[in-house]
Every structure is written in C-alpha cells, then in structure tokens.
C-alpha cells in the first residue's frame, strides 16, 4: 500500500510503527456552528482511509478532536449571553448527527480541547524547560528559530518568509522575541473562559491542543496525521515543531492532506458567503449522495461542488443500490458456486486502486463494473451461490467506501396509519394544504396513497 506523504512530496510504501496496527490523528472541526461541506470532505475521506485499513486487517486507533475553545465560539456565546461550553456542546452534538448521516464512523476517541488543559500546560512547561518556549508577560511563545527543522512540511523557509514582510517585529510591547514565534498560551480577556497556569489565567493556543491530544491518545510517534491542505501551514507545521521539540522524536511518519472544495468553480470561503452546510445539503439529498460525490474524485484533487454533479452522484448511487436490490430479490437455481473469475478480478482492481494512495475514483469505477457484470450475467438461471457471492462482494466493497446498501425502513406500519388518519381529519376539516403535505411527505418516504371507495390504501414504492 502506497501513501502520498506531504512531508516528502512522494508516494511511499506504508510501514506502520507497530506491525498490524495503525495510529491515525485527524484534525476535527471548531464547533461554533453547523459543519459545512468543506468540513465534511476530510471527515468522509479519512473515514474511508480508516475503513480500508480495517478491511486490510489492521487494528486502527483513530483519533479526531473537537476544538471547543476558540475566538469564534466565545464570540457566539457572548452574542447569545451563554457560557461558551453551551455553544460548543450544542454544535458537537449537531456535528455528530451530520457525521452519522454521512455514515462517518465514531472515532476511537473524540477528545475535546477543554478536557486536556493539564496536558497542554505540562507540554508547554517542558518546552520552556528545554529552551524552545518563553514566557512574555503571561503569554507563552514557541521560539520558532530554535527548532532547526521548522518548515519541513510546508517547505517554507523562515528567512524567505521574513523577506516578504516589510516590517518585522523583533521586540515589542508583548515581549515577543521574533515575528514568527507563535502562541502556546495566552492570558484571558474580559468575557473569555480561562484556566489557571504558571504563567497567567488564560487558555491554550490552537496548535498545542492537537499535539497534546495526539500524544495522549496515540503516543509520541504516530503513523498518520491528516487534515485539509489548508492546515499544512501554519497549523501542522507548528504541531511538528512543538511535538518533536518536546518529545525528541519524529512526530508522524505520514502526512495526508485532502484538496480544497470549490462551489460552482469558485473557492469555498466564508468571506464570500458561498459555503453550504451539511444540514442544508441534507434537506435536498440523502447524505449518502454527498458521501458518494466526495469519493468520486481523488482525495488530493480539488473538488467542485455543483447541483449537476450532485445529481450525477445521486444517479450513480441509485444504479448501485438498484443492482443490490435486484440481486437480493433474484431467485436462482440450486447449483454450486462457480469460479467467478471476473468478480475476483474486479475485487483486485478495487484493492489496487485503494492501495495506490486511496484512489476512490478508480475504486468506485470497479464497483460500477461489478454492477454491470451482475446486471448482465446474473439471472434466474444463475446459481444462488453465484448471486449471493456477487451480492456479498458488492456490499463489502461499498462498506469500505461507507456506502450503505441496506434498505431503510422509513416508517413502521403504525406510523403510516397515524399519518393517514391525520390526513383524513385534515380533509374533513377542509385543510387541503395539510392533507396534500402529508401525502407528499409520505411519497417522499416511498409510501404511495390510493383513495378508493373502500377507503385509503397504501403501498411501498
């Protein structure tokens, strides 16, 4: 299996730190609002990476954090007149709902930054003791030039960066030694949550949070650190500096980064106001369609979101699900399983695609070929063993991609009957708008109503 390592800018054979195990840290969202589809891409991509490792027999320790203390969270809390924890907990729960709807598996651990403050204070003190950090009037900075490998992930050179700035702050009011030193701990401001530390009552900087949570739940050296490419600099660069300075060893062996998501060929940006929340997409599509769309391109490539591409993804997904339904209902003959060479060949094609830096686009193509094979070659004259084998293979490969092939039971009979009765009452009361809405809602869930002289009858589509 080969992974494209951002650190080396090339594909490398995956060799885990510990045989048979994968330790993986993925930077999670800052929880101050509903997650948007830009947040969803790394969630879906790296959940799929995790699923493939598990398919290959690895035991995966998958850690993805929630940043639950941040300027944006504090701002929203102040606007609503509530504690910042109210905001973060609200949107952690909303995020988990969206993740479940996208069939993103629960992480092995979902740490929250506010629950790991003691570990952050300990690491910061360690960095001070080693000369990599310093206290300036209650603010603790990382001494960037003290870490000789700074820039190795982003390929940025401090001196070149400095040349791009007309005014370089060497010393100033805040006691900062160098323009490029970054914050590990900052004193509280009015209206902010804070924790006691040896330097000031305050809160941690963003970068130190992930270094500490990764170390606590995965160890000093991990296999894979992943996230969106916008995190390469400065976040992941600073994580490397902190972690390697503190622990004295390589932080992560492989760095994986997904490409940007564009909206109608324009870069998605909050400032442009063109980002869409996952919740909004869920009002238009089953979020399995969004997941299928996200996997239609290689994770490192830019991905363009548009209504046309979502419709294409919806149609592609339905083609797979229809083939699965057909195989489930197909009654073949009682005969032994044949060799199914073409099925085995397509499984190999799927695995080769995923082994090549998780090429989900080609993996999906292999599944479509399996669907075509099943539709053309498997009939009532085929053996049940062949039908069940092919069905099992398609379902297993879809599961690697997180695509749900099980039929959803949208309503139980009692729910349907209750809604039909409500519709009948609405009609008696001449509330035809409500009656029509109930009919349309049921139809959207696959329930067709028939008004007959004997009363209302219903059936599933």
Asked whether residue 408 is assigned to any structural domain, the reply reads no
Tell me which of 370, 400, 430 is where a domain ends. 400
pLDDT tens profile 21-33: 999 999 999 999 9
Contacts of 87 (CB under 8 A, 6+ apart): 31, 32, 73, 76, 77, 80
Asked whether residue 265 is assigned to any structural domain, the reply reads no
Q: Are residues 23 and 124 in the same domain?
A: yes
Q: Are residues 253 and 291 in the same domain?
A: no
Give pLDDT < 50 ranges for the chain: 165-173, 410-411
pLDDT value at position 171? 42
Q: Are residues 190 and 96 in the same domain?
A: yes
Asked whether residue 271 is assigned to any structural domain, the reply reads no
Q: Are residues 240 and 304 in the same domain?
A: no
pLDDT value at position 28? 97
User: Whole domain around residue 361: which residue ranges?
Assistant: 278-400
pLDDT value at position 167? 42
Q: Are residues 254 and 356 in the same domain?
A: no
pLDDT value at position 86? 97
Asked whether residue 40 is assigned to any structural domain, the reply reads yes
Q: Are residues 238 and 291 in the same domain?
A: no
pLDDT value at position 271? 73
CATH code assigned at 149: 3.40.50.620
Question: What's the Cα-to-Cα distance from 70 to each of 25, 80, 205, 206, 348, rounded to whole Å?
Answer: 20, 16, 9, 8, 46
Which residue blocks in 303-412 are alpha helix, DSSP H?
307-329, 341-355, 360-377, 384-400
pLDDT value at position 456? 84
Query: Is 313:296 a contact under the CB 8 Å cutoff?
Result: yes
Q: Are residues 385 and 417 in the same domain?
A: no
Q: Are residues 28 and 149 in the same domain?
A: yes
CATH code assigned at 395: 1.10.730.10
Q: Are residues 239 and 317 in the same domain?
A: no
Q: Which two tokens stand for residue 371?
A: 């669907």
Q: Which residues lie across from 228 on neighbouring strands?
A: 258
pLDDT tens profile 160-215: 777 654 444 444 446 899 999 999 999 999 989 999 999 999 999 999 999 999 99
Asked whether residue 34 is assigned to any structural domain, the reply reads yes
Q: Are residues 301 and 426 in the same domain?
A: no
Domains contained in the chain, number: 3
Tell me which of 196, 226, 258 is where a domain ends. 258
Asked whether residue 448 is assigned to any structural domain, the reply reads yes
pLDDT value at position 408? 57
Q: Are residues 195 and 289 in the same domain?
A: no
pLDDT value at position 440? 85
Asked whether residue 263 is assigned to any structural domain, the reply reads no
Tell me which of 223, 258, 293 is where a domain ends. 258
Asked whether residue 131 is assigned to any structural domain, the reply reads yes
Within 10 angstroms of residue 311's Cβ, the number of other Cβ atoms is 13
Q: Are residues 219 and 289 in the same domain?
A: no
């Amino acid at each position: 299996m080969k992974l494209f390592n951002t650190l080396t800018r090339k594909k490398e054979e995956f060799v885990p730190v510990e045989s048979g195990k994968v330790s993986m840290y993925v930077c999670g969202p800052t929880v101050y609002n509903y997650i948007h589809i830009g947040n969803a891409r790394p969630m879906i991509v790296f959940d799929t990476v995790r699923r493939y490792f598990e398919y290959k027999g690895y035991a995966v320790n998958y850690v993805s954090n929630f940043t639950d203390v941040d300027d944006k969270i504090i701002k929203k809390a102040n606007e609503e007149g509530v504690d910042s924890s109210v905001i973060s907990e609200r949107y952690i729960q909303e995020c988990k709902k969206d993740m479940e709807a996208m069939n993103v598996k629960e992480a092995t651990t979902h740490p929250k930054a506010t629950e790991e403050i003691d570990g952050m204070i300990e690491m910061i003190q360690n960095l001070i003791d080693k000369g990599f950090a310093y206290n300036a009037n209650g603010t603790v900075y990382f001494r960037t030039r003290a870490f000789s490998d700074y820039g190795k992930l982003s390929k940025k050179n401090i001196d070149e960066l400095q040349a791009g700035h007309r005014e370089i702050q060497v010393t100033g009011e805040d006691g900062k030694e160098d323009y490029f030193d970054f914050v590990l701990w900052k004193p509280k401001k009015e209206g902010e949550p804070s924790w006691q530390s040896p330097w000031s009552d305050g809160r941690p900087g963003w970068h130190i949070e992930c270094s500490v949570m990764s170390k606590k739940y995965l160890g000093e050296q991990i296999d894979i650190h992943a996230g969106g490419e916008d995190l390469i600099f400065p976040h992941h660069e600073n994580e490397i500096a902190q972690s390697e300075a503190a622990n004295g060893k390589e932080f992560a062996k492989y760095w994986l980064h997904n490409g940007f998501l564009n909206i109608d060929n324009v870069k998605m940006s909050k400032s442009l106001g063109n980002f869409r929340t996952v919740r909004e997409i869920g009002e238009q599509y089953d979020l399995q369609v969004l997941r299928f769309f996200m996997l239609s391109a290689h994770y490192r490539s830019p991905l363009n979101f548009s209504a046309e591409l979502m419709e294409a993804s919806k149609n592609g997904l339905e083609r797979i699900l229809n083939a699965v339904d057909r195989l489930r209902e197909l009654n073949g003959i009682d005969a032994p399983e044949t060799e199914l060479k073409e099925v085995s060949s397509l499984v190999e094609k799927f695995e080769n695609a995923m082994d090549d830096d998780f090429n989900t686009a080609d993996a999906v193509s292999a599944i479509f070929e399996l669907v075509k094979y099943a539709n053309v070659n498997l009939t009532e004259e085929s053996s049940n063993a062949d039908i069940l084998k092919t069905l099992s293979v398609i379902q297993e490969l879809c599961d690697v991609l997180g695509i749900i092939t099980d039929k959803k039971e949208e309503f139980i009979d009692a729910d349907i009957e209750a809604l039909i009765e409500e519709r009948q009452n609405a009609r008696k009361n001449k509330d035809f708008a409500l009656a029509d809405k109930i009919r349309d809602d049921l139809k959207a869930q696959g329930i067709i109503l028939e008004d007959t002289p004997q009363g209302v009858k219903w059936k599933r589509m």
